[in-house]
Structure 1
Amino acid sequence: TIIKEVETVVNSRPLTTLTPEIEHILRPADFLTLGKCLELIPPDDTSEGTSTKIDLVKSWKRGQRIMQDFKLMFRDQYLPSLRERYFQRPKQPRITSGKSPRVGDLVQIKDDSRNRLNWRVGKISTLVESQDGKCR
């Protein structure tokens, strides 16, 4: 379906800058599949359910290496790119919407005692302007 195609495109976009020295670029799909893109299952796996203890240990060790590689990519690629983007963007106010509040708009009511997901929703009944003429 179209939604699945869009999901695939979005999750396949690189999270970091592409450079020649980086072997594997970090993508949202890597978080969702827990390293599946890094070949968790070797190509010679028969998948017949006849794994021996040695095969299971090898598979577990391979999974541990993949997770370690994933953590290193996250630390060495993604976190520095976030820092770089943060310092490159111009400073702007937290609220960047140009839309002013209006009577009848639905808003979230901040409550420090609750998680943001559990804030109540309210409807603006009146507006109060500050001395500079802006509604807050």
Structure 2
Amino acid sequence: MTFEELTSLFAQVEAILNSRPISPLSSCPTDHAALTPGHFLLGRSLTSLPAPMLEDINPRRLDRYQLIEQTRQVFWRRWQAEYVTELQSRSKWKTRCRDLKEGDLVIIKEDNIPPLAWRLGRVMKLHPGADGVPRVADLTTARGVIRRALNRLCLLLDEEDKA
């Protein structure tokens, strides 16, 4: 890559890193927005233009712009998966971690979402299994109500929950 191409890629990677949700903006059950590092930089969350998915295309068939876009998409996919996995640290049975409750803001772990698009939802209802432990939750999102397994959800803690 040339210096200009690498600089462009680094700026896009910086935007990806600064788009990560940190905590809910408010405790309002209809608010699906999260505080991001972008809020401190720009006063709002970061966005990007939609682009065709290029991850599975042979790099030798792409022009220079598409190659940079493919590199950005590969970085996004890996960053998103590793960041959400890090937030979902499991402590097994040794220590009790905070369980989800109704009204919590969560990141929904999705496989095919574009860069800088974090799917967020609020827990509307928890469905316990036969052992009484919740396994599934109904979530309200910006697009409607969905049902997801708890292992596909990652809690965004409020400041009072972190203390």
Compute the TM-score of the two structures, normalised by the length of structure 1: 0.28
**Structure with larger Rg:** 1
Q: Which has the higher helix share?
A: 1
Q: Which has the higher strand share?
A: 2
